[in-house]
Amino acid sequence: DAKTTQPNSMESNEEEPVHLPCNHSTISGTDYIHWYRQLPSQGPEYVIHGLTSNVNNRMASLAIAEDRKSSTLILHRATLRDAAVYYCILRDDTQGGSEKLVFGKGTKLTVNP
């Protein structure tokens, strides 16, 4: 599985935007970029995913670099509820039948009131 690199931790203030970076310099053409988050005492939760173009949904935006070697998850206005560990994961749609996720260490986001 292709590797991603994320900062161990980040801090933000409530109601400010948050940009969570992810490096994936060995990404292949068939890798999709997925983001999940894990709130305290809960299971991981799907946030967003993309291949080449920037993506928006009700939770966040995903900005993908033109060379696809990095991406940024954008939370437009952080709330206390957004405090979680955020995981950037590459998923290959040609992996021969298994859709499993391979989690790294993620970025622990702290949101200050």
Partner 1 sequence: DSGVTQTPKHLITATGQRVTLRCSPRSGDLSVYWYQQSLDQGLQFLIQYYNGEERAKGNILERFSAQQFPDLHSELNLSSLELGDSALYFCASSDTGAILPPLHFGNGTRLTVT
Nearer to partner 1, 55 or 101 (CB): 101
Q: Could you tell me how many residues of this chain bind partner 1 (CB under 8 A)?
A: 24
User: What three-state secondary structure class fits 81?
Assistant: helix
Kindly state the smallest distance separating residue 9's Cβ from partner 1, in Å.
Answer: 15
- Confirm or reject binding of residue 103 to partner 1 (CB under 8 A): yes
**Taking CA 102 as the corner, what is the angle to CA 47 and CA 41, rounded to the nearest 5 degrees?**
55
Among 10, 59, 68, 91, contact with partner 1 (rule: CB under 8 A): 91
Sheet holding 18-23, edge to edge: 18-23, 70-75, 61-64, 55-56
- Confirm or reject binding of residue 8 to partner 1 (CB under 8 A): no
- Confirm or reject binding of residue 44 to partner 1 (CB under 8 A): yes
Kindly state the smallest distance separating residue 101's Cβ from partner 1, in Å.
Answer: 6
d(CA 50, CA 108): 22
Chain-centroid distance, C-alpha 43:
15
Among 21, 49, 55, 68, contact with partner 1 (rule: CB under 8 A): 49
- Confirm or reject binding of residue 32 to partner 1 (CB under 8 A): yes
The residue length of the chain stands at 113
